[in-house]
Structure 1
Amino acid sequence: METGTQSNDTVLTFGELLLRICPDASGKWLESSSLPVYVGGAELNVATALALWNVKTKYFTAMPDNGLSAQIINYVAERGIDTSAIHKGAGRQGLFYLTSGADMKHDAVIYDRAGSAFAELKPGVIDWDKVLTGVSWFHFSAICPALTEQTADLCEEVLIAASKRNITISIDLNYRAKLWQYGKEPEQIMPRLVKYCNMVMGNVWAAESLLGIPVSPQLTDIDTKENYLAEALSSSKKIMERFPACRTVANTFRFDHEGGIKYYTTLYQEGEFYNSHEYITNKVIDKVGSGDCFMAGLIYCYGLKLELWTALNFATAAAFDKLSVKGDATQSTVEKITKAINNAN
């Protein structure tokens, strides 16, 4: 697989830029007066990977109009991402704290995003026709509508605009229970957004929590790969039946395994169901951004119009490789990921 700019069309990712602050679990950061900080956010992680892989990429977010934002925007631009769509408005910079080495799904994550510039951005402010000019693919995640109902309305506004332009739309069904705090259940919000999506990526448990697609009660009782694959196929079919615009469903499975991680994925499209090579590692550097890297891998391969099996293999290898990369976004080239695929086979 060769790196190359796929076309003059642009992938636009939409979401809140976050600073990830990483105190160590022992509290030594208090003595050293030092905290590691990473620039990220799910959608920016996708954009960073795509830009590294020579895909023309633009990023939309809202940030406060100050010198810190200017530094961060310059940092993003230096990674080859078009920052011209970033909106500067009222509010503050979104943050989250994650204890070093911990998993975002567990108690070590603390969100500090209330009143951020992104959360404060209202529908009717942005000229989406201008932002979407030249865009062929639009990507966002379920983290955005989890912030506020206003942000969910903002998501719907841009999705309508993208849909009218026949732009391919993808969503990562990231489920963050701690963020859904504004009085609405995810099932009351997410279906009206997912109905515009052509590609849905996530896992069977997120599909249940966000879309109400039920998971078999016996799933974890029969703890086998075959059982999880069957559940992924069933969930994928139900998503497509419920959301006619959806043409592709991808699922990731990441399990703790003997002190490390076991990882594999699935892809369902046009009645065909694929499952990836299974990867296992006992050495995990950073779990953050692995799913974002998987999503970027799919977008990259679909832009090249590669076969589904090839796309799934590349995206899975990219996601697994990210577990060994410090920071929120991958730093691995297409060549490195392709080599990992060859070694696995």
Structure 2
Amino acid sequence: MGKFITFGEIMLRLAPMNYDRFVQSKEFGVVYGGGEANVAVSLANYGKEAYFVTKLPKHEIGQAAVNELRKFGVHTDLIKRGGDRVGIYFCEKGASQRPSKVIYDRAHSAIAEAKREDFDWKKIFEGAEWFHFTGITPALSDECAAITLDAVKAAKEAGVTVSVDLNYRKKLWSTEKAGKVMAEIVKYCDVVIANEEDAEKVFGIKAAATNIEGGELSEEGYRDVAKQLVERFELKSVAITLRESFSASHNGWSAMLYDGNEFYKSKRYDMTIIDRVGGGDSFGGGLIYGLSSGMDNQAALEFAVAASCLKHTVEGDFNLMSVEEVDALAKGDASGRVQR
């Protein structure tokens, strides 16, 4: 089995207890997480040889982030040590009609100030099978964009499958810059993952007959989005997650996959949400696991959607579900009955 490499930023997450608001909270819970780290943890939980690549300070907070990854079986020996700070984000959980809120304090983090010479991608990809990153990483700095481009080029030269979750973040860059940078990077990708907004924000490809705020998503519109992405970038497949947001606590959840020839649609889950942060990453981790483990496209999609559905019930960024638990839901056991 080859190495599964993910590359990005792991952050310190500070969150008010329970459903407190920022302005009323007197204490914050501490966890670590970030898009690509979350995928690595999922893959490690599923038995893959998962490696996370980033840059972290040598001090105790940087070490705490490393320790957290190690606790869940993620290999950390490819992490570059240096820089001054770990990025922070504050997360206030929403409920009912009150949305969740995120405040970033990540400027000048170690990875945002990393240099191209920090990473020997040829060596990193020795024995690798899969490489995954998100659109968040190249948004951190111009140098991070260059590092990511170096990474995808090296991955393709090494014959490694490359996947990207577009993950547009308006607090990090403009749609114009995202489109320009990501267009060059995605040329080297095999699999693209997007949500109901990403393709429009990054590449200007909008799904027709869709009202995201109103919870109205057009399956036919997203079929067209997937087709355009595959044709433009000559991709092997595109997966699009479809979130119907009725409130912060109640979402519909499904996804579709297009392999250039055929469309696949997952079953739909009606979710009551405990913590939605990391939901998209858990979908990515599930899809990578399914596609790399010999599942057919429909089975891989169902596994990914079930994994993500279960993540919405777990506090923190990481999806702490086993293959057996995900399989049970994917195969129809949604009762939630006590397992004795």
Output the TM-score relative to the length of structure 2: 0.91
1:313 corresponding residue in structure 2: 302
2:147 pairs, out of 148, 154, 162, with: 154
Once the two structures are TM-superposed, the CA of residue 89 in structure 1 deviates from its matched residue by: 1.5
Quickly say closer, same or farther: Cα 1:50–1:107, change in 2 above 3 A. Answer: closer
Which runs of structure 1 show a deviation greater than 4 angstroms over 4 or more consecutive aligned residues?
A: none
2:264 corresponding residue in structure 1: 274
- The count of residues paired between Structure 1 and Structure 2 equals 329
Report 1:185-224 matches (<5 A): 185-216=177-208, 218-220=209-211
1:29 corresponding residue in structure 2: 25
2:55 is equivalent to residue 59 of structure 1: no
Contact 1:93 1:117 in 2 (8 A): yes
1:137 corresponding residue in structure 2: 130
2:230 is equivalent to residue 240 of structure 1: yes
2:219 is equivalent to residue 229 of structure 1: yes
Amino acid at match of 1:39: Y
Distance 1:74 1:293 in 2: 21
Q: What whole-Å deviation, never above 9, does each CA across 1:242-268 have from its counterpart, x for those lacking one?
A: 102x10100001122365110110000
2:244 is equivalent to residue 255 of structure 1: yes
1:180 pairs, out of 168, 173, 191, with: 173
Distance 1:96 1:321 in 2: 23
Give me the CA root mean square deviation.
Answer: 2.3
Q: What whole-Å deviation, never above 9, does each CA across 1:188-232 have from its counterpart, x for those lacking one?
A: 21100111110000124211111222333x4229x797x621111
Structure 2 portions without partners, runs of 5+: 335-340
Distance 1:81 1:164 in 2: 25
Distance 2:228 2:260 in 1: 14
Contact 2:94 2:101 in 1 (8 A): no
Contact 1:260 1:284 in 2 (8 A): yes
Distance 1:264 1:154 in 2: 33
Distance 1:100 1:208 in 2: 26
**Matched-pair identity in %:** 35
Amino acid at match of 1:324: T
Contact 2:227 2:260 in 1 (8 A): no
1:115 corresponding residue in structure 2: 108
Contact 2:215 2:246 in 1 (8 A): no
Contact 1:229 1:275 in 2 (8 A): no
Amino acid at match of 1:254: R
Q: What whole-Å deviation, never above 9, does each CA across 1:125-155 have from its counterpart, x for those lacking one?
A: 3211221111110000001111111211111
Distance 1:340 1:184 in 2: 40
Structure 1 portions without partners, runs of 5+: 1-6
Distance 2:124 2:95 in 1: 36
Output the TM-score relative to the length of structure 1: 0.90
Once the two structures are TM-superposed, the CA of residue 344 in structure 1 deviates from its matched residue by: 5.2
